[in-house]
């Protein structure tokens, strides 16, 4: 294996800008990211920011990819250490709940889904739709594996179960933000236990 | 009974402003409502709008109440015609799904929950929390009635079931906006059927 290359100055600056954009977007959503506020925050001129991202939309697209990569690294990769089947699916959901807890005051990916779900077609809406579709497919795949190894019944519909798991994670995020994490987490766990019990052979 | 009084000119103007604010908020959320855009939209001066609402926050609070009243009128009142118990609870959920379908491109109440769930305490966050809590209590009450009339098992936990129903409605809204209403509605119905079946005596 080669040593990990040191990122160039350009790549490091790009990362710095994205990191700051991420902080802005956590509070005000993707639409709240302005090149002006961003330039001010990282101590660059607007044209300096534009040198790294050709347009505000390019920056917003790069930010979506940046957060999505973090999300997958946080949730999926550590779950791969668990045996395939229900333990791995459960581990993914546990990490996902933890992500929700950390981002209780605003998850950029979830806010983006709400920001763009009703908008007209365009690159941002398409990227959000693609990311959400990719993530749903990851859950479906984990469900299918659990069926294959015999942890879930063979008549389990992966798309249906993935939808229900996703809905519960939305419920967790919603209730945690308004009524507190503890009660929300308790309700979510009980619902997941019942859901998995109903699919067990 | 007295005849319904004709609303005063002041009340009618107030209604007109709120209706326009509602259109703005459907697209950009409660934080997207500005007195300037509103004044322009209804053909009044900014001070004219301020004469009806003392501040932007007062207007946002009035708007939340305005939408909440519409929501209850749309969902709860028609459901009261159905027999108490599971038929009434099912009717509420059917109307709620229909509300979600109509407001697929953005529901002001749901957006407000996402906008204020992570904010610091303040009148807007408190109003959102209170409205969400009131609505959850309505669902719990409908579940309790269904238990009382024997449609659901006596060990059914109304808070748990209300959380799961709410989560599924969030899932419906999320998926409908990104992947289309039909598939989302199919998944939601299947999930509700299983959920209610698991609580039946």
Q: pLDDT digits over A64-112, tens only?
A: 999 999 999 999 999 999 999 999 999 999 999 999 898 877 788 888 8
**Chain B: residue whose CA lies nearest to A158:** B187
Q: pTM for the full model?
A: 0.91
How close does chain A come to B59, measured CA to CA in Å? 20
Task: Parse chain B into domains and list their residue ranges.
Answer: 9-198
Average pLDDT, integer, range B37-66: 92
A198: confidence class by pLDDT, cuts 50, 70, 90: very high
Average pLDDT, integer, range B76-98: 96
**Chain B: residue whose CA lies nearest to A108:** B114
Say which of B111, B117, B187 has its CB closest to residue A178: B117
Burial label, B37 (beta-carbon count in 10 A; 0-12, 13-18, 19+): middle
Q: Distance between CA atoms of A198 and B13, rounded to whole angstroms?
A: 54
pLDDT in tens, A158-171: 999 999 999 999 99
- Widest pairwise Cα distance in chain A: 61
Share of chain B above pLDDT 90, in %: 72
Cβ distance B111 to B30 under 8 Å? yes
| Half-sphere exposure of residue A87: CA atoms within 13 angstroms, side-chain side | 7
Query: Does CATH number 3.90.1150.10 belong to domain B9-198?
Result: no
Torsion angle (degrees, nearest 10) of CA B118, B72, B8, B39: 40
Given this model, what pLDDT does residue A9 score?
81
Asked if B181 has any chain A CB less than 8 Å from its own CB, the reply is no
For chain B, what is the mean pLDDT? Answer: 91
Question: DSSP letter at A150?
Answer: T
* Buried/exposed B92-129: b ≥16 CB within 10 Å, e otherwise: bbbbbbebbeebbebbbbbbbbbbbbbeeeeebbebbb
Cβ distance A175 to A187 under 8 Å? yes
Q: Distance between CA atoms of B2 and B4, rounded to whole angstroms?
A: 6
B117: confidence class by pLDDT, cuts 50, 70, 90: confident
Average pLDDT, integer, range B96-113: 87
**Chain B interface, best mutation among A172, A187, A190, A194, by max B CB count within 10 A:** A187
Q: Distance between CA atoms of B44 and B54, rounded to whole angstroms?
A: 15
Given this model, what pLDDT does residue B6 score?
58
**Chain A: residue whose CA lies nearest to B195:** A195
pLDDT in tens, A103-160: 877 788 888 888 887 677 799 999 999 999 999 999 999 999 999 999 999 999 999 9
Of A1-5, A75-79, A183-187, which gets the smallest average pLDDT? A1-5
Say which of A119, A177, A198 has its CB closest to residue B118: A177
Which token pair is B31? 């934080």
Q: How far is CA B153 from CA A77, A198, B66, B196, in A?
A: 41, 17, 37, 10
Asked if B128 has any chain A CB less than 8 Å from its own CB, the reply is yes
Which residues of A fall within a CB distance of 8 Å from B170? 167, 170-171, 174
CA-based torsion, A78, A84, A88, A89: positive or negative? positive
Q: Is A6's pLDDT higher than 70?
A: no
Q: Is B115's pLDDT higher than 60?
A: yes
**Chain B: residue whose CA lies nearest to A187:** B160
Q: How far is CA B192 from CA A3, A186, A195, B36, B99, in A?
A: 53, 20, 12, 44, 17
Q: Distance between CA atoms of A72 and A52, rounded to whole angstroms?
A: 25
| Interchain contact, B105 vs A113, CB within 8 Å | no
Given this model, what pLDDT does residue B1 score?
45
Average pLDDT, integer, range B80-100: 96
Q: Name residue, tokens 């207007």.
A: B59
Q: Is B172's pLDDT higher than 90?
A: yes
CATH topology of domain A60-199: Tetracycline Repressor; domain 2 (1.10.357)
């Amino acid at each position: 294996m080669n040593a990990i290359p040191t990122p160039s100055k350009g790549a490091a600056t790009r990362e710095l800008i994205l990191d700051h954009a991420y902080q802005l977007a956590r509070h005000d959503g993707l639409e709240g990211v302005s090149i002006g506020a961003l330039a001010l925050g990282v101590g660059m001129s607007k044209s300096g920011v534009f040198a790294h991202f050709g347009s505000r939309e390019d920056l917003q697209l790069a930010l979506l990819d940046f957060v999505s990569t973090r999300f997958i690294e946080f949730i999926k990769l550590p779950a791969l250490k668990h045996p395939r089947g229900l333990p791995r699916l459960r581990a993914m959901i546990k990490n996902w709940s933890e992500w929700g807890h950390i981002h209780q005051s605003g998850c950029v990916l979830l806010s983006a889904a709400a920001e763009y779900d009703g908008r007209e077609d365009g690159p941002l809406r398409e990227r959000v739709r693609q990311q959400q579709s990719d993530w749903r497919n990851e859950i479906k795949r984990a469900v299918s594996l659990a069926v294959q190894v015999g942890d879930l019944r063979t008549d389990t519909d992966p798309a249906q179960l993935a939808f229900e798991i996703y809905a519960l994670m939305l419920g967790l995020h919603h209730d945690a933000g308004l009524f507190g994490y503890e009660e929300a987490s308790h309700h979510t766990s009980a619902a997941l236990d019942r859901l998995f019990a109903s699919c067990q052979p």
